[in-house]
Amino acid sequence: MAIPFIDLGTQRARIGAKIEAGVLKVIGHGAYIMGPEVKAFEADLATFAQSKHALSCANGTDAIELILLGLGIGAGDAVFVPAFTFVATAEVVPMTRAEPVFVDIDARTYNIDPVKLEAAIEAVIAEGRLKPAAIIAVDLFGQPADYPALKLIADKYGLPLISDAAQGFGGTIDGKQPLEWAVATATSFYPAKPLGCYGDGGAVVTNDDVLQDRLISYRVHGGATAADAAAAKFEHETKYLNVRIGMNSRLDTIQAAVLIEKLAIFAEEIELRQVVAKRYNEALEGFVTSVPYVKDGYVSTWAQYTIEHENRDGLQLHLREKGIPTAVYYPIPLHQQPGYAGFTSGTRNLSVSEAKSKTVISLPFSPYLTAETQNEIVEAIKSFKG
C-alpha cells in the first residue's frame, strides 16, 4: 500500500461518524453561513487557545490580512516577515498597501532570527522611506518562534507582534501559547494542517477587545460593529452600514462542524506527534545532515517533519523511486520570488534562508504514522548513497 505524505484517512476512520453526523445536522437545519456551529467552534477554539476571543474566517491568508487591517496597517508602513516561509505571510502585506521587509531565519529552528530582525528594523529606520509598523513571526514546521525575544524587540520599537501559526497552532513555550506575547494569532485550517477541515478555513485568536470588534467588521464587508451602529443611531442590520472597506471571509458552517470534532482530539494528536517525531529523530540522527531541533521548553505541533541533506534533490529522487513521497518547503526564499523582487528594504542579509532552501526536505508525517512504516522510510533514507 502506498505511503501517504499526510495520513488523513486514519483520523477519518477514527472520528468519521461524528463528523458525518455533524455535517448532516447542518444540512438539516440549513444555516449554511454563520450557523450555530460556527459560534460553537469559535467558543471551543478560544478555550483551547486560552484566548478571550476567537474569530473564524475563510482561510489562513485572510486571517493574517484581517489582523493587519484591524491594526490599521497601510501605505508607507513596513511589516517585517521571515524570508523563509510560504508566500501567504508576505502576500497579505501589499494587499494593505504596506511593504514586506524580509528578515533572515535562525539556522536551527528556521524561524525569524531576533538579532537579524532588529538589524532590519534599524536598516528601515536609517533608510527613512518606510515606517516600521508590525512584525509577523511564523511558527515554521510547527515550532513556535522565539516570542519572548521577539516581544522585547517589538516593545522596544513600539510594534505589534503578530503570530502566524498556520503551521504551529497549538504549539507552546513553557506551556504558554504565542498569544502570551503576540497581539493576535492567525491560523489555517487547510486540510493538511495539524488542525485541518475538509476545505479552506482559518481563524484569529486575540485578547484585544478593540481589535476583535474591528476583525468582526472587516470579516463581513466592513459592516458596522454594535458601537458603530449606536454612534450612528442606525437601527437596521449592521451589515448594511459599511464603515470600513472590508472583505467577505466567513467560515462555512459545514467546516465548523468538521472542526468541532477535530478540535476535540487535537490535544491528544499533538501528543502523538511528539512520539512520531522522537522515533524519526532517534532513527535518523547521524544519517542525514540534520534532524529537526526543538528548543528546550518548546512544543512543536510538527506540521512537517523536515530534515536536511546535502544532496537533497538526489535523496528526493531516490525516495520517490521507492514509493515514498516527500516535499520541499521551500525551494525559493520569498526575497528571490519574482513577484517580490521590488521589496528591497532591510539588511538584505538573507544567507541562511538561501542556504536552507537548498537542503531541506520533509518526510511523511502524521500522528498516526506507525513504527513499521517509519522503519520503511528510515531504511530507504539510509540506503541512499548519493
Catalytic-labelled residue, pool 116, 151, 193, 356: 193
pLDDT average, residue stretch 104-126: 98
Instruction: Identify the CA nearest to 185 among candidates 208, 164, 159.
Output: 164
Q: For this structure, is 295 an active site residue?
A: no
Interatomic CA distance for residues 139 and 89, integer angstroms = 11
Instruction: Give pLDDT tens digits for 78-103.
Output: 999 999 999 999 999 999 999 999 99
| Three-class DSSP category at 202 | strand
Q: What is the pTM of this model?
A: 0.97
pLDDT of 386 > 90? The answer is no
Residue 141 grid coordinates = 514546521
pLDDT at 73 over 90: yes
Nearest-CA neighbor of 23 among 210, 223, 199, 220? 199
- Residue 1: predicted pLDDT: 67
Summarised one tens digit per residue, pLDDT across range 179-231 is 999 999 999 999 999 999 999 999 999 999 999 999 999 999 999 998 899 99
Q: What is the pLDDT of residues 292-342, one digit of tens each?
A: 999 999 999 999 999 999 999 999 999 999 999 999 999 999 999 999 999
Q: Where would I find the beta strands (DSSP E) of the chain?
A: 53-57, 77-82, 99-103, 131-138, 161-164, 172-173, 184-188, 202-206, 298-299, 305-308, 360-363
pLDDT digits (tens, 9 = 90+) for 244-290: 999 999 999 999 999 999 999 999 999 999 999 999 999 999 999 99
- Domains in the chain (CATH in brackets) are 9-264 (3.40.640.10), 267-382 (3.90.1150.10)
